Amino acid sequence: MRIGYARVSTQEQNLDLQKDALKRAGCEKIIEDVISGKAENRSGLDRAREQLREGDVLVVWRLDRLGRSLKHLIELMAELEKQKIGFLRNMFCYPCSQFLHMLNRIEEHIFGHGGENRSGIPSNALG
């Protein structure tokens, strides 16, 4: 099953564009949040994650709708991979391990190469 997650920061913003894209991506359920992306606790994201099962796919319109930071995205992707849950962003499907590898390479580029980067995740831990 594909479960979509849509988020806006304020009541004045509109979720329609995200919801339309998620519907086109084949989402059977769409969970919404109206909360700042910097908020640590997002009830909609928590609900989406609770509903995901092995083999399901979490779908978001853009990465900034999902993660608070690069570190948060890497941690979330690692958790999804552990649960054997896929990830789809803006109509591009990635196995979580491939996406984790891409995020890790981006982080290495930003923070430099080394055994351990600012996220606390060893550079070789993700591939």
pLDDT per position as a tens digit, 53-99: 999 999 998 888 887 777 888 888 888 989 999 887 765 544 555 66
What's the pLDDT score for residue 90? 65
- Catalytic entry in 9, 36, 43, 123: 9
CB 52 within 8 A of CB 66: no
**CA distance readout (Å), 70 to 2, 16, 87:** 23, 26, 16
| pLDDT (tens digit per residue) in 7-59 | 998 888 999 989 998 998 899 999 999 988 777 788 899 999 999 999 999 99
Q: Residue 9 catalytic?
A: yes
This prediction's pTM: 0.70
Only one residue has tokens 């990635």, namely 94
